[in-house]
Amino acid sequence: MIAGKLKQGSNIISRYGIFIAFIVLCILLSVATPHFLTGQNLLIILRQVSVNGILAIGVTFVIIAGGIDLSLGSVVALTGVVAAGYAHPNTYPLIVPLLIGLFTGVGVGLINGLVITLGKVAPFIVTLGMMTMARGLALVWSDGRPVSNLSPAFNFIGGGDWLYIPVPILLFVLVVVVSYILLNNTTIGRYIYAVGGNEQAAKASGIRVNAVKLFAYIICGGLAALAGIVLASRITTGQPNAGIAYELDAIAAVVIGGTSLMGGRGTVTGTVVGVLIIGIINNGLDLLNVSSYYQQIIKGVIIIGAVLLDRRNAR
C-alpha cells in the first residue's frame, strides 16, 4: 500500500520533474531576492526569453523529427540585417521587411532540408555548414557594419506594447499556441513524431518522410527569421554578429524540456519550461549580482541538474 503510494509519488515526479525543478528554482530566487517575484520583473523575463523561446520552439520541430539545426544563431543575424535593410524610415511599408526577412529564413530552412533529405547528408554537417554560410552572408549583406536607423513601425515589433503587454511576448505566445496545435492536433505533427521515432516504420506507414523533414526545417528557419526580426527590432539595429551561439541556448532549452535528441519524443510545453528556466537563471543571477565567472558555472550546473532530475525519474 505504502509502496504503491510511493510509486505514485515517483510517477508524479517523473511526469512533472522539469516543472517541479522550475518551481523550486522560482521559490529559491524569490527567497534570495525581493526583486524577483514582482509583476514587472516577470514581464521583463518573458520579454527577454521571447527571442530564445521562438528559436527553441522552431528547433523543437527539427529535433522531434530526429534532426538538429546549428544554423539558428547565424540565421538570426542574417534575417535581422536583411529585414533591417528594408526598414529604414520612409522607404518601404512595414510588411516588406517582415516578408523579406521571413522568406530569407524559410529559404535557409528549405536549403537545409533539401540537402539533408535529397543529398542524404547528416543534419549536423549541413546545418554546421549553413551556420558559417549564413553568418558570412550576413556580413556580406551588411558590409560588416550594423544596419541602423530603422523606422518606428519596425522598432515597435521588438520594443512596443500592445494592451500593456510587450509585442515580443505576444509573438512568442502566438508561436507557442500555433506550434502546440501543429504538433498535437494535426496529421503533419503526428508524422513529425513518427519520422523522428522510427523513420523506416514511418516510411512503411505511407508517410512521405522527406516532405515531413522538409516541413520541420522550413518551420525552424521561418521561426529563426521571426526571432531575428524581433531581435533586430528590440535592439533597433540589424547586427551581422548578433545571435552568436544562440542555437546552443535554444537546444539547451529544448533538452531541458525533456525532448530527446534521438528524436520522436518531446513537447512544446516542455520547451517553454526549458526556455523559462534558462531565462530565470539569467535574470536571477543578474539580480543577485553574481560575478560573471560564477554565472557561467552556475548556469551549467543548473542545466545539467535539471536534465538529470528529469532523466533519473523518466524511467
Provide, rounded to whole angstroms, the least separation between the CB of residue 200 and other proteins.
4
**Interface with other proteins: number of residues (CB under 8 A):** 57
- Does residue 208 touch other proteins according to CB under 8 A? yes
What is the torsional sign of CA 134, 106, 102, 207?
Answer: negative
Q: Which is nearer to other proteins, 68 or 209 (CB)?
A: 209
CB of 240 to other proteins, least distance (A): 6
Smallest separation, CB 184 to other proteins (Å) = 8
**Minimum gap (Å) between residue 145 Cβ and other proteins:** 5
Backbone Cα Rg of the chain: 20
- 41 counts as binding other proteins under rule CB under 8 A: yes
Residues with Cβ within 8 Å of residue 74, at least 6 apart in sequence: 130, 131, 132, 133, 134, 135, 138, 243
Question: Could you tell me which stretch among 81-89, 100-108, 201-209, 212-220 binds other proteins (CB under 8 A)?
Answer: 201-209
Stretch that binds other proteins, among 39-47, 122-130, 214-222, 303-311 (CB under 8 A): 39-47
Binding to other proteins, residues 239-298 (CB under 8 A): 239-242, 244, 260, 264-265, 282-283, 286-289, 292-293
For 270, list phi and psi in degrees, rounded to 5.
-60, -45
Q: For other proteins, which is the closer residue by CB, 94 or 288? A: 288
Q: For residues 198 and 313, which CB has a smaller minimum distance to other proteins in the complex?
A: 198
Stretch that binds other proteins, among 18-26, 36-44, 101-109, 113-121 (CB under 8 A): 36-44
SS3 label, residue 161: strand
**Cα dihedral 230, 236, 240, 241 sign:** negative
Of 6, 115, 137, the C-alpha closest to 69 is: 115
Given the C-alpha cell 521562438, which residue does it identify? 54
* Minimum CB distance to other proteins smaller for 107 or for 197: 197
Q: Does 206 bind other proteins (CB under 8 A)?
A: yes
First-to-last C-alpha distance (Å) of the chain = 21
72: CB partners within 8 A, 6+ apart: 55, 58, 59, 220, 224, 227, 243, 246, 247, 250
Distance CA 197, CA 204 (A): 13
Q: Name which of 103 and 190 has its Cβ closer to other proteins.
A: 190
Residue 35 in the binding site for other proteins (CB under 8 A):
yes
User: Of 97, 82, 102, 87, which is closest to residue 142 (Cα–Cα)?
Assistant: 82
Of 107-136, binders to other proteins (CB under 8 A) are none
CB–CB of 111/134 below 8 Å? no
Cell, residue 273: 519550461
Query: Which window, 18-26, 111-119, 169-177, 197-205, contacts other proteins (CB under 8 A)?
Result: 197-205
User: What DSSP state is assigned to residue 307?
Assistant: H
Show the site string, 150-189: x = touches other proteins by CB under 8 A, - = not. ---------x-------------------------xxxx-
- Taking CB under 8 A as the criterion, the residue among 13, 173, 235, 298 binding other proteins is 235
- Which candidate, 305, 242, 181, places its Cα nearest to that of 55? 242
Asked if residue 177 lies in contact with residue 272, where contact means CB atoms within 8 angstroms, the answer is no
Element (H, E) at 285: helix 268-287
The footprint of other proteins (CB under 8 A) covers 33, 35-36, 38, 40-41, 44, 47-48, 51, 139, 143-146, 148-149, 159, 185-188, 190, 193-194, 197-198, 200-208, 231, 234-237, 239-242, 244, 260, 264-265, 282-283, 286-289, 292-293
